[in-house]
Each structure stands twice: as C-alpha cells, then as structure tokens.
Amino acid sequence: MRRTTTLRTGLSALLLLGTWATAAALPAAADTPPRSTGAPASSALLSAMQRDLGLTRDEAEARLAAEKTATAVAHKARNAAGSAYGGSWYDAGSGKLAVAVTRAAHADAVRATGATVRLVRFSARQLDAAKKGIDALSAPAGVGSWHVDPKANKVVVDVVAAHRDDNDVRAFLSRAREAGPVTVRETPAAPHTFAAGTVGGDPYYTGNVRCSIGFSVHGGFVTAGHCGSPSAAVYGWDRSYIGNFQGSSFPGNDYAWVNVGSGWWTVPVVLGWGTVPDQLVRGSAEAPVGASVCRSGSTTHWHCGTVLAKNETVNYSQGAVHQMTKTSVCAEPGDSGGSFISGDQAQGVTSGGWGNCGSGGETWHQPVNEILNRYGLRLHTA
C-alpha cells in the first residue's frame, strides 16, 4: 500500500491471499524438510480444518503434527528407495508417509526412515514416462486432467462424466493407454480458471480482471499467469498503481510475478481475513499427497481440504497447463492467484478448478517453488 496507509491495510492489499509457511529465505526444493518453528497452530486455523475436513480439534492438531513429520521423512524415504521408488503419499489412517517400492529388497531401508511400505509393479520413473507420453497428445474438451497416482500405481485420467462416451474422448483414452498403465475416473465438470470481472473487495486489478495476490517475494509478489500478460499494469484495491507483470506464462504454465513500487511495499505476512490471524511466511517445503492444505482468496477467503495429486496436467479451454497440484479445496472467481498452505509451509498459487464453495469442488495450484525457480525470485520470509 501507499506509505501513508496503516500496516494492516497494506497487508490487506498486498497479501490478499497469503497464508502461513516456513523454511529459509531462498526457494526450497520440493523435497526439502520444513524448519520447525515450535509454534502451535492458531485456533482459527484448527476451526477451519474442523469445518472443511470433518475433524475434531484434537484430530486437527494431531494431523498437523503427523503431516509435518511425514513431510520431513519424504526426502529420506525417496533416497532409501532409490530406483525402486514408486511415489509417496500421506496416509491419514496410519498418520505416516506411505512409500511405494517395486522391489521388496528396499522395503526395510524405507521403513527405517519412519515410512510405511507398499509393493507395486511400476516405478515412479515408469509412471512419469507414461504421463509424459499422454502430455504429447491433444486432449478433447471432455478430458479434464491427468496425473500420476502413486497409490493406484497408474496414471489417472479424469473425464467429464457427460462426455465419457464421446468418440473423441474414447479415441484419446485409447491412445493414452498405449503410453502406459492408465485408469479412468469421472469428474462432474470441466476445469476452468478463477479470474473474475471487476467487483469490489480487496483485490488487485489488471484491465477488467480481478485476481488475488499470492505470496510476497523480494521486489514484488507471485500470482497466476492467466490474470495478466507481461508488462500489463496492476492496480490495488484502492485503484492506485502497484507495478507491472514482469513475467507471465499461460497456458502451458499458470504463474506470474508483479513488481511492487509507487509507494507500495512487501512484507512477509499474509492477511487472515478475520477468519485466522494474520500469518508470518517462513518457507515453502512441499507437502505430500494426502496432506491437509488450506487456501485463502479475495472472494471466498479461507477453506481447507487435502492434496489429491501432484504433477497433474489440466486441460483448460485455453490449453493444457502442466505440473499442477490438485486439491479438494473449493474456490470461486476472483480467487485466482491466491495462496495455498499446508501446515506452516507455502505450497502454491491458485489456478482453477470446478465447483464452488457452496456445493464443493476441486482446485488446482501451481507450485510456488517452480515459480520462484523460474524467475529467480526469493520468497519474502520472516
């Protein structure tokens, strides 16, 4: 915000969707263990998890602690599995990280890290190769997305239920199965981005589009690429000039960054919207599939769910976007660009999805570490 505005108001405009995170100032690798702060989760955050995940307060606290441990174990477990690694996910039933391996000889070494083990047929490398083959295909509108599912040990292709029997969908699935092990699931609607026309609130604007600011970086903030093209001017909630899109990519990717100036500044804090306290940002260690995750946006504010899949290709009407993370969190128009958080770690910026926060849905985010590495940015941390 402009320097004459209060700090709280500045956070409202510059950190519209942020949430809470932890790690070092430099971008963390996807499998870097988080730095523990020892700080308990806020009561408001626990309440959001109780509401959206159907947990008691004690269950929410226990889950956050178990997920932090699972995230720390992931890097060691992957190294222990070596070439037999078939992927991993957080198992809410056991409260541990589950790791798939293709050879029993590696099981004991993986268990020694604190993870549980499941024997599977295909390695992560084989599944990633199959997905890459599907990425090369041209998908029809009836195909929503596809990703590697380590738990199923297959590539899952999501097809819009109403288009399951379309000839072009059937032809796509036939070609996809030639690439490797594939299973098909139905989704009730096609994915779309969550940008919105100009309305009131605490947004940022570019042209006639309203989106949400994600995480502060040194010199600006990161957000969704579909919200603006390179050099496009960006204006704050009060319509004062903030800066310009310095880099933007969509489709293919869905990320961007905006420089901050003209009396505005960045701080390592994100606004809680009165639902949770304003939160310090501390880093960006990536949570495993199955972990809880929360999202903050300028339209629907705070909502929580779980990580459903990683490295998913999403087939928007504008074109495919790669390396996305799918979640069970809802979102609505205007939430695009906002922050995803798991535990106390930044995860990514909101891209799109289907459904709404009245009836539910699914939402994808572009991982924040990919954005930081792509543009050589440093997350602004406390």
The strand pairing partners of 196, in sequence order, are: 210
- Judge whether residue 143 has pLDDT over 70: yes
pLDDT score for 6: 33
151 C-beta neighbours (distance < 10 Å), count? 18
Q: Flag the least confident range among 4-13, 132-141, 207-216.
A: 4-13
Determine if the pTM surpasses 0.85: no
pLDDT score for 212: 92
Decide which of 42 and 305 is more confident.
Answer: 305
104: number of CA atoms within 13 Å, CB side? 0
Q: Report, as residue numbers or ranges, the catalytic residues.
A: 226, 254, 336
Average model confidence (pLDDT) for the chain?
86
